[in-house]
Amino acid sequence: MGLDRRVFFKLLGATGITLAIGKESLAKQANKNEVEFYGVLYDSSRCVGCRTCEYECAKAHGLPEPLSEVAAVRKTDETCNTVVNTYQTSKGEVYIKRQCMHCNQPACAAACLTQAMNKNETGPVTWNGDKCMGCRYCMVSCPFDMPKFEFHSANPKIQKCDMCFDRQKAGEKPTCVTNCPNEALMYGTRRDLIKEARRRIYEKPDLYVDQIYGERDAGGTGWLYIASVPFEELGINTNLQQSSYPALTKGFLYSVPSVFVLFPTILLGIHQATKNNQHKKEEEDEY
Amino acid sequence: MNTNYPIAIDHDGKSIWKFLISEMKPKGKFLTPFNIISIPIMLLGLGLIVYRFIYGIGSITNLTQDTPWGLWIGFDVVTGVAFAGGAYVLTFMVYILNMQKYHSIVRVTVLNGFLAYVFYAGALLLDLGRPWHVINPIIGNGFGVSSVLFLVAWHFLLYMIAQLIEFSPAIAEWLGARRAHKILSGMTIAAVIFGITLSTLHQSGLGALYLMAKDKIHPLWYSEFIPIMFFVSSIFAGLSMVIFEGSISHRVFFSQISEKNHKSQNSIIHGLAKICAGTMFAYFFLKMLVFIHEQHWDLLNTPMGYWFMLEMLGFVLLPMILFFYSYRTNSIPMVKVAAILTMLGVILNRLNVTVIGFRWDMAIRYIPSWMEFVVTMAVIFTEIWIFRWVINRMPVLRDSPSWATEKE
């Protein structure tokens, strides 16, 4: 009986290792395709605050049309995936568009226990209603607070920008990029966008702040921002960590297989040791 | 050895089904003060739950887009599971370390733990927006292996099974199923080992859930060591619950407990007090190490800092000293006071991480609605009802029937 148990736990350990390695080899295969993450570069200095992107986004996603008169600073919610906020800054009125940042290593996708939140290999982070159980752990984890939940629905969905994933699959740009009248938005591979952002900052050092928000913040994001004023003045949290958010739980998750192998072994050992002791003192069976 | 056991012995000539139906009926007086208070709350809670499933979670809770998890997660699940930690600690002591002294309270603790998990996991279903998909991570409609919640979900399920196996000999004794009793008793040690491993991981896992909410939790409560803190505190949280629940059970179910177990009760309580004191010292020490390491001295002189010191000094250090002192002076009432203070401290700590310190800087704070409290109370009362039903029927507090204890 004791031997059987040991074999069982060995199998358990082996299964854990196989699962871990199996996962890794899958990831390697994905790399072979050499698909690059696509993203969007938002140039705040070109944005005129017309909110066309808000209207077009609502239309494309079947959400209610935004109001024409709105507060200067708003948050996205379950009825709108993007907002353009207005800030009074040292350089006058400056606009800033907010939406899901489509992180390279999204906290929401790492948090999701059903993989309903998924980072697609072309960049967009999308939500799958056939998998989601509505636990809202993605909302707890997201450093940008972008997943929004329909609290007043019996069949609630998670709403957030999906970078127009369907349009991307059809070879089109996101609807906000296509419809921006002043070319404040630019769509492309993340690599090209960073080059373009650097070029703009280099060519007009007086206009831009020398920072590409999203290049390293939260481990790098699909949406990249450049602006004429420091990002703190635009209500953007610049204190986010530079490494990815899923890395925070890595240590804990890596300890799980070790605990699963070591604990049963040690516990069984102690049990055997104390049981023998008991037998010497008085003949008592284990239950 | 006689292998021809009947599946179930005759219950006064009744068939097993008739026996089960007769056991469903309530025993004892119906209009007790507890029933008069609990029944209206349970009915109101049930009504609210129905309302919630028609009009959405937002219809009865004050949850917002910024605080997606509130009282139901922070108290029902995170705190409730910490209090259920007594089961793994006691099974470790009795089955692994062979401390026979504590054997008489193992069953009731495991039952308590099992019911806590069933009801708090059940409360989790109320909080899920799309609960019909709750099976997805189990059946593989997305194995989110990178998620801490995936680990916690699986562990809840597996640990419930492990606890059911640990408790199942009592059910077999109730039904008089001798053969099943023998098989199930043989599975106890495996279930215990598995259960302790699972508990270690998901008690800490509940803390690890909040690791990614780094920018949202007050820095006095957030640290990379939350998982270890949650694990260590679950030891004395669970044992304080055992002391608290034991002192109530001993009064309410007085007639069921044998003379011998009554006498050993005080010695058990002192033993548990000693363990509580030791683990609380370790916990306090760890907390101090983290605090000094993170260098948050400046935060102490803020409202949240006072709140932090109240938790650490009033509800960790003070009960720890009381536990030590009660052991030196042999005082049972002092242990009980210390246990209650410890439990309040654990509630405070878990809520500080999950609700009070979560988004502490928001202009509009989340305050649970009265309906969230009612549903929470209803869940707890239902659990106590089931607990009482089981205690009154199965040999949990009272001794096992003679056939179950005799040697093979």
Answer whether B62's CB lies under 8 Å from B367's CB. Answer: yes
Q: Can you tell me the distance from the alpha carbon of B151 to that of A260, in angstroms, rounded to the nearest whole number?
A: 12
- What is the rounded radius of gyration, in angstroms, for the C-alpha atoms of chain B? 22
pLDDT at B401: 84
Residue A235 forms part of a structural domain = yes
Environment class of B273 (CB within 10 Å of its CB; exposed 0-12, middle 13-18, buried 19+): buried
Residue A287 forms part of a structural domain = no
Phi, psi (5° rounding) for residue A88? -85, 115
Task: Give the residue-averaged pLDDT of A204-216.
Answer: 95
Answer whether A124's CB lies under 8 Å from A162's CB. Answer: yes
Q: Can you tell me the distance from the alpha carbon of B348 to that of B333, in angstroms, rounded to the nearest whole number?
A: 23
Residue of B nearest to A286 (CA): B95
ipTM confidence score:
0.90
pLDDT at B2: 39
Contacts of A114 in chain B (CB under 8 A): 133, 136-137, 141-142, 144
Task: Give the residue-averaged pLDDT of A138-165.
Answer: 95
Q: The CATH number of the domain where A229 resides is what?
A: 3.30.70.20
Give how many domains chain A has, as a whole number.
Answer: 1
CA distance A204 to chain B (A): 34
Q: Can you tell me the distance from the alpha carbon of B330 to that of B233, in angstroms, rounded to the nearest whole number?
A: 24
Phi, psi (5° rounding) for residue B49? -65, -40
Residue A225: which domain range?
Answer: 34-247
Which of the following CATH numbers is that of domain B33-400: 3.40.30.10, 3.10.20.310, 1.10.10.10, 1.20.1630.10? Answer: 1.20.1630.10
pLDDT at B406: 64
Answer whether A143's CB lies under 8 Å from A108's CB. Answer: no
Q: Can you tell me the distance from the alpha carbon of B336 to that of B127, in angstroms, rounded to the nearest whole number?
A: 33
pLDDT at A287: 44
* B56 in contact with A, Cβ within 8 Å: yes
Strand partners for A221: A103
Residue A193 has pLDDT above 70, yes or no: yes
Is there a contact between B211 and A249 if contact means CB atoms under 8 Å apart?
yes
One-character DSSP codes across A13-43: HHHHHHHHHHHHHHHHHHHHT-PPPEEEEEE
Number of residues written out for chain B: 408
Residue A10 has pLDDT above 50, yes or no: yes
Q: How many CB atoms lie within 10 A of CB B191?
A: 22
Is there a contact between A275 and B98 if contact means CB atoms under 8 Å apart?
yes
Strand partners for A39: A188
* A237 in contact with B, Cβ within 8 Å: yes
Q: Can you tell me the distance from the alpha carbon of B312 to that of B373, in angstroms, rounded to the nearest whole number?
A: 26
Residue A283 forms part of a structural domain = no
Q: Is the dihedral of CA A180, A182, A185, A187 positive or negative?
A: positive
Take residue A43 and report the two structure tokens written for it. 């140039």
Task: Give the residue-averaged pLDDT of A250-256.
Answer: 94
One-character DSSP codes across B126-172: HH-SSGGGTTHHHHTSS--TT-HHHHHHHHHHHHHHHHHHHHHHHHH
Helix axes B106-127, B148-175, angle to 10 degrees: 130
The one-letter code for the residue type at A114 is T
* B188 in contact with A, Cβ within 8 Å: yes
Q: A86 vs A19, which has greater pLDDT?
A: A86
One-character DSSP codes across B258-320: -HHHHHHHHHHHHHHHHHHHHHHHHHHHHHHHHHHHHT-GGGGGSHHHHHHHIIIIIIIIHHH
Q: How many CB atoms lie within 10 A of CB A103?
A: 27
Per-residue model confidence as pLDDT tens digits over B107-131: 999 999 999 999 987 888 899 999 9
Residue A265 forms part of a structural domain = no
Contacts of A81 in chain B (CB under 8 A): none
Residue A175 forms part of a structural domain = yes
Residue of B nearest to A272 (CA): B96
Phi, psi (5° rounding) for residue A103? -55, 150
Nearest-by-Cβ selection for A149 from B68, B142, B215:
B68
Instruction: Report CA-CA distances (Å) from B204 to A239, B85, B111, B267, B278.
Output: 27, 11, 22, 30, 19
Q: A70 vs B306, which has greater pLDDT?
A: B306
Is there a contact between B142 and A131 if contact means CB atoms under 8 Å apart?
yes
Position A126 confidence tier, pLDDT thresholds 50, 70, 90: very high
Contacts of B200 in chain A (CB under 8 A): 259, 263
* A271 in contact with B, Cβ within 8 Å: yes
CA distance B197 to chain A (A): 6
What mean pLDDT, rounded, does chain B reach? 91
Position B5 confidence tier, pLDDT thresholds 50, 70, 90: very low
Q: Virtual CA dihedral for B49, B51, B55, B56, nearest 10 degrees?
A: -10
* Chain A (73-92) residues lying within 8 Å, Cβ to Cβ, of chain B: 75, 77-78
Residue A56 forms part of a structural domain = yes
Q: What is the DSSP letter of A73?
A: S
* A97 in contact with B, Cβ within 8 Å: no
Q: Can you tell me the distance from the alpha carbon of B160 to that of B392, in angstroms, rounded to the nearest whole number?
A: 22
Helix axes B332-351, B318-329, angle to 10 degrees: 160
Answer whether B112's CB lies under 8 Å from B387's CB. Answer: yes
Nearest residue to A184 (alpha-carbon basis) of A38, A51, A43? A43
Q: A30 vs B231, which has greater pLDDT?
A: B231
**Parallel, antiparallel or unpaired: strands A38-43 and A185-189:** antiparallel
Per-residue model confidence as pLDDT tens digits over B293-334: 988 899 999 999 999 999 999 999 999 999 999 988 989 999
Residue A42 forms part of a structural domain = yes
**Parallel, antiparallel or unpaired: strands A38-43 and A223-226:** parallel
